[in-house]
Amino acid sequence: MIRTIFLFCVATAVAVVGGEYTIDLPEGAVGGKVLAIELSGECLRDLGGHAAWLRLHDAKGEVIPWAREQASTKRLSKVRTQTPLTIQQVRKPDDGTLEIAFSVAPDAALPDTVFLLFKTTLRNFEQQVQLWGKAADGAERALITDGFIFDSTDNIDARNLELKFSPGDCRQFRLLLSAASFERRNALRSLSVTRKNDGRESTRAEMTIVDQPFNAKSLELWSEQLREDGKMPVWQELSVPFEARGTDNGVSRYVITPGVTPVSGLRFVFEEENFSRRAVVENLLPQETRKVGGGVLRRLNIGGLFEETTLTLSAMTEGSLMVTLEDHDSPPLHLKEVYVTLPAYRLKFLASPEQFPIRLSAVPDSAEPVYDVASILALGGDALNVQVLRPGKLVGEPIVPQTKSGGVPRLALYLTIGLAVVAMGFALAVTVKNCDKGKG
């Protein structure tokens, strides 16, 4: 009887704290793997918004040690690689074009997209380009039908000497340029002066037209390949509530309540287009207000959409945010939605099948626990040995991330309530026991 009342009191005390997530046994082998619970912004907010408050328990209620990290992904960079080519033939057909046949090694590894680069010192020219490729079966097909290279240094500083195409399985190519040579006016002109008998002079200027060949020093074949270049942290966005605080003296103010930490950025969605506003972001704390970010928000849709509606912040770990927009004499904007940027956290731990279902909960206002499992997970937690788990739906009520309630710390309040309930349970048990003795 006493044990039943005690368990009821404990359950009642825990229910006061807030809800939790239950994670069932995943498919596949669990033992010998590092498990990682990926926390969405909604999940973190439901559990109070502080990753340090999170706790894991197994099916028996025992603590499961965990290590917290920010999720990461591969960082890929584009690297240009040159593929050697061989010029096999250069011809000048009777129609005035220029034909160049070239090839690469039969086993050359060419990606889906390559770039043909013309190396030339020639200035002020235009050339139309066509390119055919010969596949392994000998069939020839068009790879570039309307290519265009040019240089217009004398008129405007513009130059394009590169053409993009997909080679497929072709390793032999035939290039056709629109002109093997073109007419060019000589920069030096001749000037003759004739004196007549009456003393008058006449002048005559002559401009010489020369025929200049198209001069390409070489052709180069390049390709872009993605290579892994370390890792980069993963961030996520979460839609958060805000409150309009009115407009006066040419400024609009909004108070944003993130409900999660740390917040490192804000993204705004407005109803209007074609605006530019300077914004200031302040962190509203119990004892002070400090500036944490600012910049210019723009959204232009004139001949194409240009949008800059994101602000980077100094990491905010508590309180709310005040955003001030400088409208001056322009009509106030209508804010539709606000997103915060926060780290994509995950909890890494070791577990066996008998420990499921696992409970993910939180202890408000608590410090982040220190477990000895962190170094173990660091040794065995490579990407190939990690099994990712995702929480389902929250069971119970979300935890409101307030650090105080009526001047009393929330954790102390919860402990007080819990102890009071347990004390009442023991008192009731003693009363029942005394009644049983009286009947005896």
Give the per-residue pLDDT at 427: 53
d(CA 412, CA 17): 11
**Angle at CA of residue 93, ends 91 and 94, nearest 5°:** 150
Q: What are phi and psi of 410, to 5 degrees?
A: -60, -40
Q: How far is CA 265 from the centre of its chain?
A: 13
Give the per-residue pLDDT at 125: 86
Whether the CB-CB separation of 19 and 397 falls below 8 Å is answered with: yes
Extract the tokens encoding 21: 């997530």
Whether the CB-CB separation of 324 and 244 falls below 8 Å is answered with: no
Give the per-residue pLDDT at 159: 86
d(CA 36, CA 346): 6
Range 311-317 contact pairs with CB under 8 angstroms and sequence separation of 24 or more: 311/265, 311/266, 311/267, 311/279, 311/281, 312/264, 312/265, 313/263, 313/264, 313/265, 313/266, 313/281, 315/262, 315/263, 315/264, 316/258, 316/261, 316/262, 316/263, 316/264, 316/283, 316/292, 317/261, 317/262
Whether the CB-CB separation of 245 and 257 falls below 8 Å is answered with: no
Whole-Å CA distances, 120 to 73, 86, 147, 174 = 42, 17, 17, 19
Whether the CB-CB separation of 145 and 130 falls below 8 Å is answered with: yes
The sign of the CA dihedral 415, 421, 424, 429 is negative
d(CA 52, CA 39): 13
Extract the tokens encoding 236: 């996520």
Give the per-residue pLDDT at 4: 44
Give the per-residue pLDDT at 7: 40
Q: Which residues contact 151 (CB under 8 A, 6 or more apart)?
A: 122, 123, 124, 125, 158, 159, 161
Give the per-residue pLDDT at 331: 94
219-255 pLDDT, tens digit per residue, is 999 998 888 888 899 999 999 999 999 898 999 999 9
Give the per-residue pLDDT at 392: 87
d(CA 360, CA 57): 7
**Could you tell me the pTM of the whole model?**
0.64
Give the per-residue pLDDT at 157: 75
Average pLDDT, consecutive stretches of 10 residues, N- to C-terminus, the chain (440 residues): 43 56 86 87 95 95 93 87 93 90 93 92 88 91 93 79 94 91 55 63 59 77 86 94 93 96 96 95 93 95 88 91 96 96 94 92 93 76 74 89 44 49 53 52
Give the per-residue pLDDT at 212: 66
Residue (of 413, 293, 432) closest to 364 by Cα position: 413
- For the chain, the 3-state helix, strand and coil shares in percent, each to the nearest 5, are 15, 50, 35
Which residue is listed with tokens 């037209």? 209
Q: Which residues contact 54 (CB under 8 A, 6 or more apart)?
A: 39, 47, 66, 68, 347, 360, 361, 362
Whether the CB-CB separation of 375 and 67 falls below 8 Å is answered with: no
Extract the tokens encoding 13: 């005390």
34-38 and 386-389 strand pairing: parallel
- DSSP letter at 250 equals T
Whether the CB-CB separation of 402 and 97 falls below 8 Å is answered with: no
Whole-Å CA distances, 422 to 9, 312, 412, 431 = 5, 48, 15, 14
Extract the tokens encoding 385: 């040995």
Which residue is listed with tokens 């997970």? 377
What is the chain's length? 440
Sheet containing strand 386-389, strands side by side:
67-70, 345-350, 34-38, 386-389
d(CA 386, CA 69): 13
